[in-house]
Amino acid sequence: MTTDVDVVVLGLGPGGETVAAKLAKAGLSVVGIEARLVGGECPYYGCVPSKMMIAAAGTLAQARHVPQLAGAAQVQPDWAPVATRIREEATDDWDDTVAVERLESSGATFVRGTGTITGPGQVEVNGTTYAASRAVVVNTGTEPAIPPIDGLADTPYWTNRDVVQLTELPASLVVIGAGAIGAELAQVMARFGVQVTLLEVADRVLPPEEPEAGAMLQDAFVAEGMKVRTGVSISRVDHADGTFTVSLGDEQITADKLLVSAGRRSNLAGIGLEHMGADPEASTLETDERMRAGDRLWGIGDITGKGAFTHVSMYQADVAVRDILGEDGPWADYRAVARVTFTGPEVASVGLTEAQAREQGLDVRVASGDLGARGWLAKEEGLIKVVASDGVLVGATVVGSAGGEIMGMLATAIHARVPVETLLGMHYAYPTYHRAVESVLHDLD
């Protein structure tokens, strides 16, 4: 059976859901296809439950800061309120009825199932072919990547999808991978009293970020009692009698549970991209500034490789919507992609790192400093680093409890190409955290 529509959206992560709803509201006939839950990884297994966990763990950390500044406080962690909030307030017990109703109320048709592109503009799901006259928008996202470590595949390891569903915590946990997922979840577990060992193959935690940021975060992890091992090579993983054993050559690390957070794999293979002229073997879907990936084909979200973040997926969704509706831009611009790893301290960054700016052959100036008066008042260590070229900022990193918020002004400066001279002429309220930006900018030359 074939049904004619204007647009098919394949995969309804944050971007796909946005595209489907906005195009339907604009009057197009839209079918949205989702194999699992409408909204994708972020609301059910990613950002939302993990940030609920982080808010709870951060509260414990604040209470533990009391002796340094204000006397004594007793802290008795309990996972039950976190598990309940995730179930009842965040995920509706992993039920997307509300999201499906929201989508359908926009006028879109929803189909639950695994869709496959079978020809130009044609997507098949559950035995029906939808023929799109205007666009197929692919937003199929990612799955946890499981590294090819001997023995690992045969063990009952966890991924982020298991950790967010926990009702009880283990006594001990090994975490493989200290990217954003590993760093955030490992610290939550540690703050709730789990004995955590974090293993990272690269020479530092959060390898894509500035080395100074990774070093500061690693120190914070160790100060909170986590074991952190960088530059490791895991030779084997075993599971017997309820215990995981992770072998680093001759050395063995044991724990009750194992979390694999070693990166993500794009859901591109097997979805039939070759029928619309795209490479089905590629790890990312190549898109232009309008998010076009071919004739009548658009791609958005993590699969585009432009930053695996909810806000990037939704930004790209808006670009694709404008293009499909025949509107003018603005088209996609990735100079000032902002990102925050919500650890304690937060690691927030925007634009290029110093190394990336140098690789691009830019005439680079850098400066860094601490959190100034506010950091001293709060007894808080932190870092602000800026990367400038030709009189404007091209990158910045902030490490601190309010790192993501301080980074906001730096993102504006990079996005709008505000000259450093102009930034130096503005007012910075005393004693805010962001006032430290001014001193760092003064050190640029």
Ligand X SMILES: NC(=O)c1ccc[n+]([C@@H]2O[C@H](COP(=O)([O-])OP(=O)(O)OC[C@H]3O[C@@H](n4cnc5c(N)ncnc54)[C@H](O)[C@@H]3O)[C@@H](O)[C@H]2O)c1
Ligand Y SMILES: Cc1cc2nc3c(=O)[nH]c(=O)nc-3n(C[C@H](O)[C@H](O)[C@H](O)COP(=O)(O)OP(=O)(O)OC[C@H]3O[C@@H](n4cnc5c(N)ncnc54)[C@H](O)[C@@H]3O)c2cc1C
**Stretch of 90-98, 198-206, 236-244, 428-436 lying at the interface with ligand X (CB under 6 A):** 198-206
Should residue 57 be labelled a site residue for ligand X when binding is judged by CB under 6 A? no
Would you tell me how many other CB atoms lie within 10 Å of the CB of residue 114? 17
User: Tokens 């879109």 label which residue?
Assistant: 108
Q: How far is the CB of 371 from ligand Y (least distance, A)?
A: 22
Among 309, 332, 411, 436, binds ligand X (CB under 6 A): 309
- Determine the residue with CB nearest ligand X: 179
Among 25, 36, 229, 415, binds ligand Y (CB under 6 A): 36
Please report how close the Cβ of residue 274 comes to ligand Y at its closest, in angstroms.
14
User: How far does the chain reach from its first CA to its final CA, in angstroms?
Assistant: 68
Residues 153-182 binding ligand Y (CB under 6 A) are: 160, 181
Apex CA 129: angle with CA 17 and CA 123, to 5°? 50
Q: Does 11 bind ligand X (CB under 6 A)?
A: no
Q: Taking CB under 6 A as the rule, does residue 204 contact ligand X? A: no
> Buried (b) or exposed (e) across 189-219, using 16+ Cβ within 10 A?
bbbbbbbbbbbbbeebbbeebbeebbebbbe
The window from 36-44, 59-67, 240-248, 278-286 that contacts ligand Y (CB under 6 A) reads 36-44
d(C-alpha 43, C-alpha 45), whole Å? 6
Segment contacting ligand Y by CB under 6 A, of 42-50, 222-230, 250-258, 429-437:
42-50
Phi, psi at 170, each rounded to 5°? -80, 170
**Closest distance to ligand Y from the beta carbon of 96 (Å):** 9
Place of tokens 């050190």: 443
Binding partner of 15, given ligand Y, ligand X, none, CB within 5-8 angstroms per partner class: ligand Y
Residue 199, contacted partner among ligand Y, ligand X, none, CB below 5-8 A by kind: ligand X
| Rounded to 5°, angle at Cα 336 from 397 and 385 | 15
Q: Residue holding tokens 């929803």?
A: 110
Task: Name the nearest CA neighbour of 341 among 206, 139, 176, 227.
Answer: 206
Q: Is residue 200 a contact point for ligand X (CB under 6 A)?
A: yes
Separation of alpha carbons 168 and 163, rounded Å: 10
Within 10 angstroms of residue 32's Cβ, the number of other Cβ atoms is 30
Return all residues near 102 (Cβ < 8 A) that are at least 6 apart.
21
Name the DSSP letter for residue 96.
-
344: contact with ligand X by CB under 6 A: no
CB of 440 to ligand X, least distance (A): 23
Q: Which stretch binds ligand X (CB under 6 A): 126-134, 173-181, 240-248, 420-428?
A: 173-181
141 lies in the binding site for ligand Y (CB under 6 A): yes
In the stretch 369-398, what mask flags binding to ligand X with x, by CB under 6 A?
------------------------------
Cα–Cα distance, 253 to 251 (Å, whole number): 7
For residue 57, give the amino acid letter: A
Q: Is 261 in the site for ligand X (CB under 6 A)?
A: yes
- Cα–Cα distance for residue pair 45/250, rounded to 1 Å: 35
**Residue 151 touches ligand X, criterion: CB under 6 A:** no
Which residues contact ligand X (rule: CB under 6 A)? 147, 149, 176-182, 184, 199-202, 207, 234, 261-264, 308-309, 339-342
Which residues contact ligand Y (rule: CB under 6 A)? 10-15, 33-37, 40-42, 45-47, 50-51, 114-115, 139-142, 160, 181, 267, 271, 301-303, 308-311, 313, 342
